[in-house]
């Protein structure tokens, strides 16, 4: 009796096999494509224009023997005031004069020479106007192997022509890169037309990245020079020693929150209506991983570890910061002066606006 269920199930599967696996599922032919009739436009009306950019070009009669499976590279306008024109067919980018570049053409020429020195690429001037430059051999490497046996293997070399194309007004300069010579380390490899464009764009993007890196350093330096630290020592409205900042009370509140996070202060509680922080200070310790990865140096604050209060009050100009102990007693003028000197260092280190 216990074997009749599997046996009957097997028999039912054999009987219904034709319905479980229909023959047409494997042999069904693709549906025949039916042409769509042309749209009939009524008399007196014009047919809408159809864009041609999506039309599929006719295929050549010759069979396709090799396909380029890599996607084409794009010129990246990473630098400020750089742009790529639409419908551009060559590896070219345009730069506009900015407050960081000064005279644009000399600035770009110097960037090219600095780029060559940094990457150990020979750069040679090829014309009297110093608008055409030729590079030495530029090698490209690929990583091979795995884990401890990985190494960089040279795969190909290229030489390029770098052409500066300044506008007559001098505020715009185009930079175009053209592949002069190329060779694979593997003699059997061949360079396709798309790969040639990729080599040109790759070199141009590396140069643009160099320009962008220099500009970013200039922007940071200028921002650091222009940022003024307004935090000073003085007295609050009650005549107690305090710190004064030219920032509004709401901005000072938000900037102090940033300062507390990484400098040994723990915010136990806060009262936004009274603009009061309840803090615990513990001198931060530099751990093993901080020293290993080169983290920013911590600055010790001249406070005894313990609980404190920081009360912000609107002043005639800006905000006053009153530092108090856990009992609410205002710190002495000497303590405020020493604390102010340390906080100025922290403000500079963390780029805080106070």
**What's the CA gap between 349 and 354, in Å, rounded?**
12
Q: How confident is the model at residue 351 (pLDDT cuts 50, 70, 90)?
A: confident
Instruction: Kindly tell me if the per-residue pLDDT of 13 is higher than 50.
Output: no
Residue 183 pLDDT: 93
Q: What is the pLDDT of residues 24-40, one digit of tens each?
A: 444 555 567 677 777 78
- The pTM for the full model equals 0.54
Q: How confident is the model at residue 3 (pLDDT cuts 50, 70, 90)?
A: very low
Residue 114 pLDDT: 96
Residue 59 pLDDT: 60
Residue 49 pLDDT: 74
Find how far residue 238's CA is from the centre of its chain.
49
Q: Could you please report the per-residue DSSP string of 187-221? A: TT----HHHHHHHHHHHHHHHHHHHHHHHHHHHHH
Residue range 63-77: mean pLDDT, rounded: 68
Residue 2 pLDDT: 47
Beta strands per DSSP E along the chain? 82-83, 91-96, 123-125, 132-135, 138-144, 151-166, 172-184, 232-235, 241-245, 265-271, 276-281, 306-314, 319-325
Instruction: Kindly tell me if the per-residue pLDDT of 199 is higher than 80.
Output: yes
Six-digit token string for 60: 């050549």
Residue range 45-72: mean pLDDT, rounded: 64
Q: What is the CATH topology of the domain spanning 232-350?
A: TATA-Binding Protein (3.30.310)
Residue 44 pLDDT: 83
| Most confident option among 45-49, 57-61, 103-107 | 103-107
Q: How confident is the model at residue 139 (pLDDT cuts 50, 70, 90)?
A: very high
The better pLDDT of the pair 18, 342 is held by 342
The better pLDDT of the pair 335, 150 is held by 335
Every domain of the chain and the residues it spans: 82-223, 232-350
Instruction: Kindly tell me if the per-residue pLDDT of 132 is higher than 60.
Output: yes
Residue range 277-292: mean pLDDT, rounded: 72
What number of other Cβ atoms are within 10 A of residue 216's Cβ? 14
Residue range 75-81: mean pLDDT, rounded: 89
Residue 29 pLDDT: 58
Query: For residues 179 and 138, is the Cβ–Cβ distance under 8 A?
Result: no
CATH number of 82-223: 3.30.530.50
Instruction: Kindly tell me if the per-residue pLDDT of 10 is higher than 80.
Output: no
Q: How confident is the model at residue 290 (pLDDT cuts 50, 70, 90)?
A: low
């Amino acid at each position: 009796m216990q074997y009749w269920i599997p046996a009957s199930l097997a028999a039912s599967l054999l009987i219904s096999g034709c319905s479980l696996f229909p023959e047409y599922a494997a042999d069904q032919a693709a549906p025949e494509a039916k042409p769509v009739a042309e749209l009939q436009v009524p008399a007196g009306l014009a047919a809408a224009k159809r864009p041609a950019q999506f039309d599929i070009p006719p295929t050549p009669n010759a069979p396709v023997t090799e396909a380029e499976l890599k996607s084409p590279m794009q010129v990246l306008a990473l630098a400020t005031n750089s742009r790529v024109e639409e419908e551009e067919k060559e590896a070219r980018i345009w730069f506009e004069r900015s407050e960081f570049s000064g005279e644009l053409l000399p600035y770009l020429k110097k960037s090219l020479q600095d780029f060559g020195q940094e990457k150990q690429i020979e750069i040679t001037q090829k014309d009297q106007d110093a608008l055409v430059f030729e590079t030495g051999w530029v090698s490209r490497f690929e990583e091979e192997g795995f884990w401890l046996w990985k190494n960089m293997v040279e795969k190909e070399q290229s030489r390029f022509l770098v052409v500066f194309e300044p506008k007559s007004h001098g505020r715009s300069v185009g930079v175009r890169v053209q592949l002069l010579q190329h060779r694979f380390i593997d003699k059997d490899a061949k360079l396709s037309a798309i790969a040639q464009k990729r080599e040109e764009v790759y070199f141009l993007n590396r140069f643009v990245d160099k320009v962008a890196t220099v500009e970013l350093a200039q922007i940071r330096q200028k921002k650091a020079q222009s940022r003024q630290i307004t935090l000073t020592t003085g007295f609050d409205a009650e005549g107690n020693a305090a710190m004064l900042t030219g920032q509004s009370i709401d901005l000072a509140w938000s900037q102090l929150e940033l300062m507390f996070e990484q400098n040994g202060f723990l915010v136990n509680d806060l009262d936004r209506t009274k603009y009061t922080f309840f803090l615990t200070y513990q001198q931060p310790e530099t751990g093993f991983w901080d020293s290993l990865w080169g983290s920013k140096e911590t600055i010790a604050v001249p406070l005894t570890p313990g609980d404190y209060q920081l009360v912000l009050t609107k002043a005639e100009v800006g905000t006053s910061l009153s530092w108090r102990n856990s009992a609410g007693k205002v710190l002495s003028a000497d303590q405020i002066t020493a604390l102010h000197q340390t906080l100025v260092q922290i403000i500079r280190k963390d780029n805080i606006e106070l």
